[in-house]
Structure 1
Amino acid sequence: MRALIVENQAELGGLWQRHMQRLGVDADLVLSEADALAALEAADYNVMVLDLVLEKGAALALSDYASYRHPSVKVIFVTNTGFFSDGSIFNHCANACAFVPTGTPPDDLAAMVEHYGTG
């Protein structure tokens, strides 16, 4: 199973990546929308962990592109803001499967990636 992590903070993304790798997930980490687009062109992914508020790019546009390029990819949105706290993200992004705070324990996030990536 392959996962793409799109996270502004390299240290946080790296932490998530290591936890996923411990579960046998082949996880790639990128820091921007442009790098994520390149990764999606180069490989097939089962799951994308996507920071809702990207410093360099637009998360919703990236989610739409992933849905087009890889129709079966599931997106786990992470955020440290109140945007979409009403759950409306699921109305806007057909490939959204989860919406969690950035502070979610890395083991829990890795387990979610494993769950959605094998389903």
Structure 2
Amino acid sequence: MRVLIWHGDLETTATWQARLGRRGHHVRRARQADEALEMLRTMVFDVLVFDLTVDRESGLAVAMMAEFHQPDIMTILVSAQSPEMLPDLFARLSSLKFMCGNGTPPDDLVNIIERLGRISANIARRREMDESGETMLTRRPDAGGPVHLLPVP
């Protein structure tokens, strides 16, 4: 899984990066918004972990650009601000799947990232396969069950 972290707490982000890396994930950290945006333009990520502000730069702007450049990305907000102050954030940012506080234990955050990242990676792979013409998403009319990937004849 590919994870981009853009958060102001460097010690904490280093811990997240190390723990995700030990579990086999590819993790990049950005220290400034411009750096994060350049990575989002040139690399593919499954998950963006961000804060609302880092050194007076807008995390919401970074997350919105992530959505624009990578429509399948899932975002996770880790912030010191209380959730009551952010009620409409899920409506403004469709990629936002989870919000938690800075005090969230690193192992819990890693588990959340892995769970949401797997969903994002699977969606992206299915879309890539469908767009390549190698497979297509189909549902048997009589089945009403799960969607199956079938080879294109």
Structure 1-normalised TM-score? 0.92
Q: Aligned partners of 1:70 and 1:112: how far apart in 2?
A: 20
Q: CA offset at residue 19 of structure 1?
A: 1.2
**Contact 1:5–1:49 (CA under 8 A) maintained in structure 2:** yes
Once the two structures are TM-superposed, the CA of residue 56 in structure 1 deviates from its matched residue by 4.5
Q: Is the 8 A contact 1:34 1:57 kept in 2?
A: no
* Partner AA of 1:76 in structure 2: I
Q: Which residue of 2 aligns with 1:12?
A: 12
Question: Which protein is bigger by CA-based radius of gyration?
Answer: 2
Asked if 2 retains the 8 angstrom alpha-carbon contact of 1:48 and 1:76, the reply is yes
Matched, 1:103 2:103: yes
Q: Which has the higher contact order (CA 8 A, sep 6+)?
A: 1
Residue 75 of structure 1, CA deviation: 0.3
Aligned pair count reads 119
CA gap of 1:99–1:42, structure 2 versus 1, over 3 A, is same
Distance (whole Å) between structure 1 residues aligned to residue 87 and residue 106 of structure 2: 22
- Asked if the contact 1:33/1:56 (under 8 Å) is kept, the reply is no
Q: 1:47-96, CA deviations, whole angstroms, 9 ceiling, x for partnerless residues?
A: 00001222142111111100010000000001011265454221121110
Gap regions ≥5 residues in structure 1: none
Query: Percentage identity across aligned positions?
Result: 27
> Match for residue 27 of structure 1?
27
Q: Once superposed, what is the RMSD of the aligned Cα atoms?
A: 1.4
CA deviations on 1:20-67 (whole Å, 9 max, x unpaired) are 112211111111211101111221000000012221421111111000
For structure 2, which runs of at least 5 residues remain unmatched after alignment?
A: 120-153
